[in-house]
């Protein structure tokens, strides 16, 4: 009994509640306002109740404001006595051991914070059946909300206590709390930017930063309605809370009372603090300035050195609480930190790792992916369904890896050529890296379960044989144009072109249209995919909704498709069915066309090459442009229009539509060239 009474000293707990009870009151009112009260508030009076899958969707981010701030504030105020010399001496003069004080304050703080959460959950449950409640939710949603907020409140509170024990200033404690909660995600993002900047083929969105929300509770809380915590994450935060409690007891016993007012209460944390600040400053400076002036070794080295120097100075001033930091040991210590951290950030991007030249051996490859949609397939928020089931091509992944040996060899050949040639955008003509260039992701699924991913910007010129072997393969086209999504149960198609809309709804027509569209996609040649065709219309599949009570998930297609001029079979079918005239742009829709022969590439700065209005203006000044309203010629222009390529010697046109819209295009096709030559001076 005596030991229990000491550990949960009622006098200390009552003092905490009396002095800091306002925190619990604010937390209670804040949660009640942001959840139960918001259930009855709607911008649309008389609207039907809305079904929600989580209570975190109620009230926007108001809930997050209180959850993020109040638990950390409780840790700041309840343990503020540690940061004041007089208050520390007073509390530590009581006939209580330090673990007794910590236990009592910890119990008082948890009472102030957890009771409001449980009360809010209880009130939410009681108002569920009331008239005027604008949301429909289940009892499990209330339980899930209560459990998640309780665990997060506990974690943020004990983390605040741990940081307070390790620091000696209240303001610095508050700053460090939120810096550390963001630091893992920010540091991973900086590391990924660093690797992407200096490691050829490394995709910045892949690897360490792929799950950045997992590493930062603050970032995750902001998007909690869309990305709920998994069971594993909640267990992790519960475990971390226990770890911080244990370390708080250990460090509190060792903390010296004289450290009140100091930046860092334990000197053995100083090297870690300095190294952390210097590393972040080096990565930030190096990444930023390398983006300003890439491929300049001197500029890169100086930026990293400057970042390290500024980081070291800032860390020293914070630790010493003065700007007078010069001493004999400072240059040597800075040199040691600088060399070690320099090696830490250099070795991963050096040739020692073999990352840039590594191409998996063909005998170890189970499947490959090549294309520009890897993130769409690998993102957890992207789901494709077939017959009510998620269509997964490989275990744990929706990426459509292909196991065809011919395709594997074509992708490996492209990859080997890229790592050998190392195309540098500064070494190629500008148009090679704009119109026609492609950002390709190459991914290999290996027999040991690993996935190797690389990303390259491939110029339009110089890699045609390798690209033709890859892009001409049916496996590439199935993945790149998401053919699998067209094999789902589609109810109708919506075709749109400017202000024109056509719907294909008859089941027989829908099936025929779908089959033809799939054939056209799979029959596209390399030239068809790279000549910059402008679509005649955009195609949106409308899927069949799931039957209520069938247990089948709703089928969702996440992309639109295009009707291109090269789709001859589709065009003939559209004309036979009478849809083509309803959706296709005709010469009657165009008021006039201004035509020039574009020879201004070498006469304009690179950033102005694709400003076609400027090209038109120069041609007008030189009287080298012609405006025509000839409907026959305009019809030929519409038939041969392409995306503007930026190449000299190409014809370009400015189309003015009858509805006031304007469009700039390049003109291709040998049949149109004689008429254009005759028309232009």
One-character DSSP codes across 60-80: TTHHHHHHHHHHHHHHHHHTG
One-character DSSP codes across 75-139: HHHHTGGGGSHHHHHHHHTSSS-HHHHHHHHHHHHHHHHHHHHHHHHHHHHHHTTSTT--EE--H
Return the structure tokens found at 119.
């009360």
Residue 555 has pLDDT above 50, yes or no: no
Residue 351 has pLDDT above 60, yes or no: yes
- State if pTM tops 0.85: no
pLDDT for 243-257, tens place per residue? Answer: 999 999 998 888 877
671 pLDDT tier (thresholds 50, 70, 90) = low
Q: What's the whole-number mean pLDDT along residues 374-379?
A: 78
Q: What's the whole-number mean pLDDT along residues 338-353?
A: 88
Return the structure tokens found at 203.
């995709």
Q: What's the whole-number mean pLDDT along residues 502-512?
A: 92
Q: What's the whole-number mean pLDDT along residues 294-319?
A: 82
Top-ranked range on mean pLDDT: pick from 356-360, 551-555, 644-648 = 356-360
Q: What's the whole-number mean pLDDT along residues 552-579?
A: 79
Least confidently predicted of 274-288, 361-375, 404-418, 546-560: 546-560
45 pLDDT tier (thresholds 50, 70, 90) = low
Q: What's the whole-number mean pLDDT along residues 201-220?
A: 73
Residue 382 has pLDDT above 50, yes or no: no
Q: Tell me how far apart the alpha carbons of residues 484 and 391 are, in angstroms, rounded to a whole number.
A: 9
414 pLDDT tier (thresholds 50, 70, 90) = very high
Res 6: pLDDT: 54
Q: Tell me how far apart the alpha carbons of residues 146 and 36 are, in angstroms, rounded to a whole number.
A: 13
Res 387: pLDDT: 32
Other beta carbons within 10 Å of 446: 14
Return the structure tokens found at 634.
């305009």
Quick one: what percent of the chain has pLDDT higher than 90? 27
Least confidently predicted of 282-296, 493-507, 571-585: 282-296
Res 517: pLDDT: 94
Top-ranked range on mean pLDDT: pick from 194-198, 340-344, 347-351, 488-492 = 340-344
Q: What's the whole-number mean pLDDT along residues 616-641?
A: 86
Res 411: pLDDT: 94
Residue 601 has pLDDT above 80, yes or no: no
Top-ranked range on mean pLDDT: pick from 59-63, 94-98, 178-182 = 178-182
Cβ atoms of residues 459 and 433 within 8 Å: yes
Q: Where are the domains of the chain?
A: 2-261, 362-480, 484-583, 587-679
pLDDT for 72-127, tens place per residue? Answer: 999 888 888 887 777 776 776 777 787 888 888 888 889 999 999 999 999 999 98
Least confidently predicted of 75-89, 130-144, 416-430, 543-557: 543-557
Residue 426 has pLDDT above 60, yes or no: no
């Amino acid at each position: 009994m005596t030991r229990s009474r000491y550990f949960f000293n009622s006098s200390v707990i009552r003092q905490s509640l009396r002095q800091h009870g306002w925190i619990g009151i604010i937390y209670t009112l804040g949660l009640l306002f942001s959840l139960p009260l918001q259930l009855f508030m709607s911008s649309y009076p008389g609207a039907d109740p809305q079904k929600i899958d989580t209570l975190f969707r109620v009230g926007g981010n108001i809930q997050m404001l209180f959850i993020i701030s109040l638990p950390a504030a409780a840790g700041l105020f309840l343990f503020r006595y540690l940061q004041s010399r007089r208050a520390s001496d007073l509390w530590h003069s009581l006939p209580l051991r330090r673990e007794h004080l910590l236990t009592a304050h910890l119990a008082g703080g948890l009472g102030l914070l957890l009771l409001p959460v449980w009360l809010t959950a209880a009130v939410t449950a009681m108002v569920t059946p009331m008239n005027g409640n604008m949301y429909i939710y289940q009892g499990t949603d209330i339980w899930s909300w209560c459990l998640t907020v309780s665990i997060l409140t506990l974690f943020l509170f004990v983390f605040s206590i741990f940081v307070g024990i390790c620091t000696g200033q209240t303001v610095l404690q508050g700053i460090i709390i939120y810096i550390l909660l963001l630091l893992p995600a920010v540091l991973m993002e900086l590391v990924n930017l660093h690797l992407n900047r200096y490691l050829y083929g490394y995709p910045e969105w892949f690897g360490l930063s792929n799950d950045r929300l997992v590493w930062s509770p603050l970032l995750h809380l902001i998007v909690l309605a869309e990305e709920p915590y998994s069971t594993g994450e909640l267990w992790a935060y519960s475990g971390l809370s226990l770890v911080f409690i244990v370390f708080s007891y250990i460090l509190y016993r060792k903390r010296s009372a004289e450290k009140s007012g100091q930046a860092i209460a334990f000197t053995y944390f100083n090297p870690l603090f300095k190294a952390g600040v210097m590393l972040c400053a080096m990565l930030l400076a190096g990444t930023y300035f390398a983006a300003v002036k890439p491929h300049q070794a001197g500029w890169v080295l100086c930026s990293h050195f400057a970042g390290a120097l500024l980081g070291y100075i800032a860390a020293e001033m914070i630790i010493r609480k003065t700007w007078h930091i010069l001493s004999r040991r400072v240059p040597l210590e800075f040199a040691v930190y600088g060399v070690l951290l320099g090696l830490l950030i250099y070795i991963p991007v050096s040739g020692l790792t073999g990352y840039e030249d590594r191409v998996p051996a063909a005998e170890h490859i189970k499947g490959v992916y090549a294309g520009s949609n890897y993130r769409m397939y690998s993102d957890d928020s992207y789901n494709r369904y077939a017959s009510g089931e998620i269509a997964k091509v490989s275990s744990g992944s929706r990426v459509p890896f292909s196991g065809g040996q011919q395709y594997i060899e074509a992708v490996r050949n492209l990859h080997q050529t890229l790592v050998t040639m190392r195309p540098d955008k500064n070494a190629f003509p500008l148009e090679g890296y704009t119109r026609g260039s492609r950002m390709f992701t190459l991914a290999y699924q290996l027999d040991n379960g690993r996935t190797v991913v690389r990303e390259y910007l491939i110029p339009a010129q110089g890699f045609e044989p390798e690209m033709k072997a890859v892009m001409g393969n049916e496996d590439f086209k199935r993945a790149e144009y998401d053919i699998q999504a067209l094999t789902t149960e589609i109810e109708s198609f919506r075709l749109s072109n400017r202000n024109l809309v056509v719907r294909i709804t008859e089941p027989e027509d829908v099936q025929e249209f779908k089959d033809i569209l799939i054939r056209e996609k799979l029959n596209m040649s390399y030239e068809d995919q790279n000549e910059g065709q402008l679509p005649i219309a955009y195609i949106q599949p409308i899927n069949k909704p799931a039957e209520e009570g069938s247990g089948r998930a709703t089928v969702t297609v996440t992309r639109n498709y295009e009707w291109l001029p090269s789709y001859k079979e589709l065009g003939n079918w559209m004309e036979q069915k009478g849809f083509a005239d309803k959706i296709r742009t005709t010469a009657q829709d165009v008021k006039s066309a201004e035509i020039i022969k574009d020879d201004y590439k070498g006469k304009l700065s690179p950033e102005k090459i694709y400003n076609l209005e400027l090209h038109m203006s120069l041609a007008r000044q030189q009287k080298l442009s012609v405006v025509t309203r000839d409907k026959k010629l305009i019809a030929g222009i519409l038939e041969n229009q392409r995306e503007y390529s930026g190449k000299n010697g190409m014809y370009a046109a400015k189309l003015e539509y009858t509805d006031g819209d304007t469009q700039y295009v390049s003109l291709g096709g040998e049949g149109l060239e004689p008429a254009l030559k005759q028309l232009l001076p």
